[in-house]
Every structure is written in structure tokens, then in C-alpha cells.
A and B are shown apart, each in its own frame.
Chain A
Amino acid sequence: MEILLQNNYLVVFVVLMLIGYFVGRAKERRHYQSIFEREEELRRVLAFSSKGPPPSMAVELTTLVVGDVVISVDYFKKFVAGLRNLVGGPMMAYETLLDRARREALLRMKAKAHDLGADMIFNVKLETASFGNRAGGGVKAIEVYAYGTAVKTKGVN
């Protein structure tokens, strides 16, 4: 017991790691569930990277739509990333983070387009930014920003 009290900073570290791991994992799982569901719902909204619809397509509405999400890194992921920085190799911890953020941003953009009655989005682009990322701090949060031109083709309600 005295050992724990004398090294209380170590206890704090372990508690933070446990919170980061368990809560982080649970949140990630729930987020992915939500992503799968909404990807199914919005499957009809198509996203293209080409600049505009083919000339043959009759188009009713064009407007900018944007999807934006900021996700923070939990303590556990940050620690593992710090170790990776030393050893090198793929940062698995951040791979799921970015995957979620990209898909979330795209889904939010598609949801906006769907609300407008559009069924296609052209010129879709993604931009990523990270907060923190100073030496000694590590990345605190990442943001993914998806934007494109929503288009309603004639004949679609």
C-alpha cells in the first residue's frame, strides 16, 4: 500500500491508461456501429471525385455541402503512438481513428446533401488537420473536413 502511495503518479498513469483503453474501445465500437448503419441508409447518395456531372446528365440543383468532424485521441492511443515514434512502424492506434473520422465526415456531408434532396455529390475532397502535434505533447485531436458540390438530377424526388 505504501508503495502505491509513494508512487502515486504511477497509479494516476495506470488509471488514465485503463480509462483510455476501456472507454476508448467502447466508444470506438459504438461509433463504428453508427457508421455502418448510416452508410447503409445513405447508400443511395453517390459521391464522386470528378469535377462535375457528365454533360449528358440533366441537373436541377447545385450547392456546396460540407461534413466536418473532430475526434480526440484517448490516453492509451497517445501512449502507444509515443512508443511507436521510438520504434517505428505502422501506427495501428491512429489508423482506426482516421478511418472513423474520414467516414464520419463523408457521412455528414452526404446527410446534408440528402436533406437538400440531392442524390449525387461531385468534386468531393477531404482535408485533415491535427491539433496539438507539438514536440512533447503528441497529437491531441484530428479533424476531417469533407466538401463537395451536391447535385440533384432531374427526375429524382
Chain B
Amino acid sequence: MKFDNPEIPEGINTRGEHPLREFFWLLLAVLVTTAIIAAIVGYSAGWIAKRIPYRVEQQMAQRFFESEPTPSEIGDYLQHLADRLAPAEGLPDDMSITVHYIDDDDDVVNAFATLGGHLHFYRGLLARLPSEDALAMVIAHEIAHVKHRHPIMALGRGVTLVAAVAALSGVSGGVVADRVTDLAALTNLSFSRAQEREADVTALRALVRTYGNAAGAVALFELFAELEQDRRMPTILLTHPHSKDRSREMRERAAAQGWPTGGNTTPLPKWLTEAVARTESVQ
């Protein structure tokens, strides 16, 4: 009996298509789908989170995050300013604002609002503000976040996106889920920037109503633009729009509404500037 073992032609059990082509099309399909789903999920999660009653938000804050603010003269001063600005911004009476002043030596330049109307201000920021108007703009901006329920919306979006990506990682494995998380985070950042712009607009109105002009806002964003001079990141990667864009938007809006951008500003009280200064030079 004669047997034969001929050479079998290649390409029967494997395809000829270049692996990079497959990679490119698959990646494109997945990224586009992710961007769309992240936008839809982000939007709807924010919409639902906004409808959680403020009382519930405050209870959450109490349980998980906040303690009573440490009493201080600066803290009282900030709280007083906040209580003046809140009604000017149209914050409902049943939504309370609690101000925390953080007196640290690390020279952190930051201020933020979290759940339940808790605002935090760092010494480093206060040490650099040129006037009470500018400080009022910062406070009004944070109050605006509270008024628009941005903290709880951001939390709802974040939690929902994490859950969605976790479901994905069960199917595709961790590596793909990591990249999808990155893209979802990028989408989240654009929501964050929109929130910052909305807060700026609301705060500007309150500032003008309280001080008669928008000089404080102009000075504030000029300061920020100076502080971020050496960080030239593309807007798509930022949580806030570029300060010069925010500054421009403020001036345009003031012009549109007929609000003066120049004029007298109220200086910060002397005891405050002395209290927030440190012996090292402030950059």
C-alpha cells in the first residue's frame, strides 16, 4: 500500500489579513461606541443624581466625608461672605453652605465644593488673592456648584461609569477595560469643564449684584492665567477650561450684560492678609 504526504498549501487555517488592519478597525469601533455610551451614561446619570433631594445629599456628606469645620477667625470671615453671597446667587434658603478653611503649610492653591454644601478653601489661595472681590468670586463660584448640584452629579456619573466599565472587564479582560476607562474619563472631563463654565456664569452675576462691577472676576482669572503659565496642556485633558478662555468668557458676558469690568474693588482686611502670609516668599 502506498501512502502520500503532500505539501498542503498555506492560508487555509489562517487568514492573510494584516493584523494591524484588524486592530485599527476593531479599536475604532470600540472607541466610538465607548464615547457615545459614556456621553449618554454620563448625561443620564447626572440627570438622575440631580433629583436626589439636597437633604439626602447632606446626610451622605455627614456620614462619609465631613466633620465640623475647625473654628477660626478666617473661617468665620469666609462663612460671613458666603452667607452674603448665597442669597445674591439665588441659592434656596433650605440649602445651607458650610465653609471650611484649611490652614496648611503646604501652599496648596485650591478651593472646592463637595456634597452637602461643604466648601473648602486653602490658605495658599487666600494668600494670592488681590482683593475681596476676587475672593467673593471664588466663593460665589463654589456656591454656584452647590446651587447647580454639580458635586452629586459628578459623583453619580463617576459611580455609573465605573460600574459600566466593570461589566465590560468581565467580557473583554482588564486591558481593554483600562483603555475604555481612559476614554470614559476623557468624556467625564468635558462634563466637568461644562460645569465649571456654568458655575462661572452664575458666580459673575452674583458678584456684580453684590459689588457693582466685575473687576474681581477679571482680576481672579488673570491671576489664574499667570499661575498656570508653564502648564500648557491641551484643553481636552483638563478639568477646567483654560483660564484665559474663562477670562475671555467673563469679559464677553459682562459686555453683553452691560456690567462694568473696571472700577473700585474692596481690598481684603489687613488682619487677613497678615494671617495667611508665611515667612517664605509667595510665588
Given contacts A3-B233, A3-B237, contact A56 B1 (CB under 8 A): yes
A86 CB contact (under 8 Å) in B19, B22, B168 = B168
- How many residues of B are counted as interface, with CB atoms below 8 angstroms from the partner's CB atoms? 34
Whether A138 pairs with B234 at a CB distance below 8 angstroms is: no
Instruction: Tell me the A4-24 residues at the B interface (CB within 8 Å).
Output: 6, 9-10, 13, 21
Whether B5 pairs with A44 at a CB distance below 8 angstroms is: yes
Report if A136 contacts B (CB, 8 A). Answer: yes
Instruction: Tell me the A32-71 residues at the B interface (CB within 8 Å).
Output: 39-40, 43-46, 54, 56-57
Q: In the bound complex, how far is the Cα of B173 from the Cα of A89, in angstroms? A: 17
- How many residues of A are counted as interface, with CB atoms below 8 angstroms from the partner's CB atoms? 42
Stretch at the interface among A73-81, A123-131, A142-150: A73-81
Contacts of A78 in B (CB 8 A): 173, 175
Q: Which residue of chain A has its CB nearest to the CB of B233?
A: A3
Instruction: Tell me the B164-193 residues at the A interface (CB within 8 Å).
Output: 168-179, 182
Q: Which residue of chain A has its CB nearest to the CB of B231?
A: A2
Contacts of B64 in A (CB 8 A): none
A122 to chain B, nearest CB (A): 12
B27 to chain A, nearest CB (A): 6
Q: In the bound complex, how far is the Cα of B177 from the Cα of A98, in angstroms? A: 25
Q: In the bound complex, how far is the Cα of B171 from the Cα of A138, in angstroms? A: 9
Whether B1 pairs with A87 at a CB distance below 8 angstroms is: no
Q: In the bound complex, how far is the Cα of B177 from the Cα of A135, in angstroms? A: 12
Q: Which residue of chain A has its CB nearest to the CB of B237?
A: A3
Contacts of A79 in B (CB 8 A): 23, 175-176
B175 CB contact (under 8 Å) in A10, A82, A96, A99 = A82
Where the two chains meet, the residues of B that have a C-beta atom closer than 8 Å to any C-beta of A are 1, 3, 5, 7, 13-15, 17, 19-20, 22-23, 26-27, 29-30, 168-179, 182, 231-234, 237
A-B contacts, 22 of them at CB < 8 A, read A3-B233, A13-B178, A44-B5, A46-B3, A79-B23, A79-B175, A80-B19, A80-B23, A81-B173, A82-B176, A86-B171, A86-B172, A87-B26, A90-B15, A92-B14, A93-B22, A95-B15, A99-B14, A135-B169, A136-B169, A136-B173, A138-B173
Where the two chains meet, the residues of A that have a C-beta atom closer than 8 Å to any C-beta of B are 2-3, 6, 9-10, 13, 21, 25, 39-40, 43-46, 54, 56-57, 75-87, 90, 92-93, 95-96, 98-99, 120, 135-138
